[in-house]
Amino acid sequence: MPALNIFIDGSWLFRQCAADASLANATDRPGDHFHLDFGRLNEELLKHVRSTGGEACDLGELVLSISIFDLPSDFDSWPSRVSGIRPEDVQLIRNVVWAREWFVREAQEAGYKDDAVFRLPVREWMIRKFVERRYQEKQVDTTIVALLVRSAITRANDFHALITGDADMLPAIKIAYPEFTKNVFVATTHPDELDSRHRQTAFSLVEIGFKIPPYFMQNKGNAEKIISGPFPYRCEECGRVFVADNSIPQSQRPRCQRCRRTGHREGDGTTA
C-alpha cells in the first residue's frame, strides 16, 4: 500500500504561525502565535488523501527543512563592538532562535527528521537583513525541492504533500507532476486570506490543477483540527478557532472568550 510523504518548508510555515500571520489570524487571539500540532496535521493530511480517493495507509518520509542561526558565545557583546548592531537586534535574534528550536522539537516529536535543519553561523550581514526583513533562506528551498523530486521519482505510487506558500517551489512541482507521479498535492494558506503581496504566489501554487486538491490549513474545518491544545473548537458566533481547557457540553454552543464577554448568556437573553 502507498504511504504519505510530507515535505515541509519550515521557514515558510514558521512565519505563518507567527502572531498576526495567516494561521494566528484564524484564532480568537491573532496577536499570539499559532501553536501547531504536527501530529494532528499529519493525521489531517492522511484524511485529506483518503477523502479524495487515495489509498495512503500510513505515514512515510517526514521532512522539515528550516534554518536556525548558530550564535557565538560572545553574541551578547556584538552591539559594543560591531557597527550597526543594537542590543534589541541581539535580543530579537535570540528570541527567533529559541522559537525555531522549539518549532523543530515539536516537529521531531511527531516523527519529522532533522536532517534538513540547517544551523548557520550568524554573520553581521545576516542580522542586518533579518532585522530589515530582507533575509532569504534559499538553502531551505533547494533542499525541499530536491527531496520532493527524489521522492516523486523513486516512490511514484506514494503520495507526496508539500507544505509551502512559496512560488519558488513551482519548478520542482512541475518536474514531479505529472511526469513521474500524479500523487502530489500542496498544503498551504488560502489566497483569499492573504494580503495582496502574497496572494498571487498562493494562486500560482493552487492553480496547477492537481488531481488531489490543495489542503488549506486555516480554512473552516481545518484550523481547529491542527491547533495544539486539549479541546479545540470553532466559535459559533465569530467563526474563530479557540482552545478550551475543558470539554464544552453538547448542550452549549462553542464560544470563544471574546464572544462570551461581549455576547449574551445562552437561554436567558442577558449580557454574558
Cα(37)–Cα(14) distance, integer angstroms: 12
Cα–Cα distances (Å) from 28 to 36, 89, 254, in that order, read 15, 30, 12
Separation of first and last alpha carbons in the chain: 53
Provide the pLDDT for residue 191: 65
Beta bridge partners of 3: 58
Beta bridge partners of 227: 36
The pTM (predicted TM-score) of the whole model is 0.89
Cα(256)–Cα(71) distance, integer angstroms: 40
Provide the pLDDT for residue 262: 81
Cα–Cα distances (Å) from 246 to 36, 39, 41, 249, in that order, read 19, 21, 22, 9
Give one DSSP letter per residue of 190-240, joined into a string: -GGGS-HHHHHHHHHHHTS--SSPPEETTSTTTHHHHB-SSEEEE-TTT--
- Find the radius of gyration of the CA atoms of the chain: 21
Q: Which domains does the chain have, with CATH numbers?
A: 3-228 (3.40.50.1010), 230-272 (no CATH)
Provide the pLDDT for residue 172: 72
**Tens of pLDDT along 28-54?**
999 999 999 999 999 999 999 999 888
Provide the pLDDT for residue 232: 96
User: pLDDT under 70 in the chain at which residues?
Assistant: 191-209, 264-272
Strands (E), 114-200: 117-121, 159-163, 184-188
Provide the pLDDT for residue 194: 42
CA dihedral angle for residue 26, residue 30, residue 32, residue 34, rounded to 10 degrees: 10
Provide the pLDDT for residue 141: 85
Helix (H, G, I), strand (E, B) or coil at 256: coil
